[in-house]
Amino acid sequence: MNGAEEMSWLETRNLQSVALGEIPVHPIEMLRRHVIDSVAAGKRLVQFFGDRTDSGDTIYAVLADDNASRLYIASSLLRGRKSFASMTPEVPAAHLFERELYEEFGIEPVGHPWLKPLRKGIPGIDENEDQYGFFSMKGEEVHEVGVGPIHAGVIEPGHFRFSCHGEKVYQLEIKLGFQHRGVEELFVRNASRPIYLEKLAESVAGDTVIGHAGGFIRAYESLAGTSVPRRAKVIRTVALELERIAVHLGDLSALSGDVAYLTGNSVFGALRTKVINTTMAICGNRFGRGLMKLGGVDFDFTPDLHDRILDTINKLEDDVALASEVLFSSASVLERFEKTGVVSKETATAIGMVGPAARASGVPVDVRSDHPFGGFEFLAVHKLTLPGGDVFARAYLRFIEIQQSLKIISEQLGGLTVGPVRQTAGLPAADRIVVSLTEGWRGEIAYVLISDSEANIRKVKVKDPSFNNWFALSLAVRGEGISDFPLCNKSFNLSYCGFDL
């Protein structure tokens, strides 16, 4: 990074809080230019959001340099301006961030190619559903298929609109926002009630309890300067990896179910139960609720529990290997998985995909090794990638990630030190900002916390990995048979409520 760039960005790291005053403030045109240049130079857009205070609207941009483990923050004070030139045409990854900005603050990204409501609709602009403006195709044999927002089965609400020619999908438009709960505002409104905050973070996405709670809690601890005991970090890591294993196993089971492969469906489903039961043995809840606390964790590993987890992990290793061998050697399953729903590496990079879905397209992003947090500071995680970008790659990557996580857990348990598992959490320092990145099972969970001059948390920005990856699903099904959509969808397994917040 040269001198000029140092002036334009504040360099920081994951979970390292910085004073708000240190962040460079640019005119919006300059900020836009800096983002475009930096993304072109290989950095990744992590956050791009607005913040409304008495002195006006501020836009913050957070970029990540994954190779150097650095984060870069810059801002722009809008001073009453209500529009700026969209950067989505140059930086496709900014697409949803700009729509979010438009929806929340009415700040219009001029020239945005797909400017529509994102979640709740824009007051005074898009209150009417009919004005949403779905993309539509015309043609004699072109037909539209609308699915949802109410689905068969236990699925969250979301609307999918396909433009098809016979069985072939030309275009899929996804409309979400049916689960908008105002999570970010709830965080701010209850900033003085730590227990509420912990519970809320656990509920951002019900399938990523440890991931989201960890992401928020570490950000808060960083603002408050709380140092978490080593033993608590280990327990948190074990819980996070158990969550990853459990969901990945559940996904392999569901992927098998979607292609009507009974053996995989039942075997992986049974294995998942063993894992979530282990989480229950730790904290009394199968999804890990109640474990993560500000300052540490609420449950310690007794020697019995320690042995039980190790025992489960060891048994699981063989069972998973056996079940996966059967699944991935079944010709009828491979016929469905291979070359289905392909996302190329170029596309994945351009639209800013994260997590296993990105790694299955060959993009090496993994917060655990790029921007180590918690227990991963003492642990080298090898980034696993696959080249295919198809359903097979996303499925197979889950299998090898399960194996990796099992190893991480047994290593962590081996190095468990004696000591307390919880520290009294302090209060946030005044006028600071912190970026917290966490590799949840679905990918990068990004929290940004800003405190005001009275040391209250004034702004909480949440980004679930689903936010990055939903668009990839739209692109993955282009040119596929419409009957393969459910399979593609499952291979991403994205969160609706995590997106809707």
Please give the residue ranges that form the binding site for other proteins (CB under 8 A).
143-147, 152-153, 166-167, 256-263, 265-266, 270, 330, 332-333, 335-336, 340, 481-487
Measure Cα distances from 247 to 272, 274, 493 in Å: 7, 12, 10
Whether the Cβ atoms of residue 248 and residue 398 lie closer than 8 Å to each other: yes
Contacts (Cβ under 8 Å, ≥6 apart) of 40: 90
CA distances from 309 to 242, 268, 288, 299 (A): 10, 19, 14, 14
Q: Which is nearer to other proteins, 133 or 146 (CB)?
A: 146
What element of type H or E holds 381? none
CB-nearer residue toward other proteins: 110 or 262: 262
Minimum separation from the CB atom of position 394 to other proteins (A): 16
Shortest distance, CB of residue 464 to other proteins, whole angstroms?
Answer: 24
Instruction: Output the smallest distance, CB 250 to other proteins, in A.
Output: 16
Question: What tokens were used for 444?
Answer: 């990068």
Query: By C-beta, is 96 or 488 nearer to other proteins?
Result: 488
The answer to whether the beta carbons of residues 436 and 216 sit under 8 Å apart is yes
| 465 three-state secondary structure | helix
Nearer to other proteins, 114 or 328 (CB): 328
Q: How far is the CB of 489 from other proteins (least distance, A)?
A: 9
The minimum distance between CB 145 and other proteins, in angstroms, equals 5
Least separation in angstroms between CB 488 and other proteins: 11
* Cβ density class 135-162: b for 16+ within 10 Å, e for less: eeeeeeeeeeeebbbeeeeeebebbbbb
Give the nearer residue to other proteins in terms of CB position, either 259 or 367: 259
Q: Cα dihedral sign for 132, 48, 367, 312?
A: negative
CB of 362 to other proteins, least distance (A): 24
Cβ-Cβ contacts under 8 Å for 36 (sequence gap 6 or more): 87, 90, 91
Q: Please compute Rg for the chain using Cα positions.
A: 22
Given the complex with other proteins, which of 23 and 320 has the nearer CB atom?
320
Q: Which is nearer to other proteins, 32 or 159 (CB)?
A: 159
Closest separation in Å from C-beta 265 to other proteins: 7
Compute the least distance from the CB of residue 333 to other proteins, in Å: 5
Check if the beta carbon of residue 424 is closer than 8 Å to that of residue 374: no
Nearer to other proteins, 100 or 484 (CB): 484
Closest CA to 395 of 359, 440, 349: 359
DSSP string across 78-129: -TT--EEE--TTT-GGGHHHHHHHHHHH--EEET-TT----SS--TTTS-SG
Using the minimum distance from each CB to other proteins, give the nearer residue, 160 or 373. 160
Euclidean distance between CA atoms 10 and 19, whole angstroms: 10
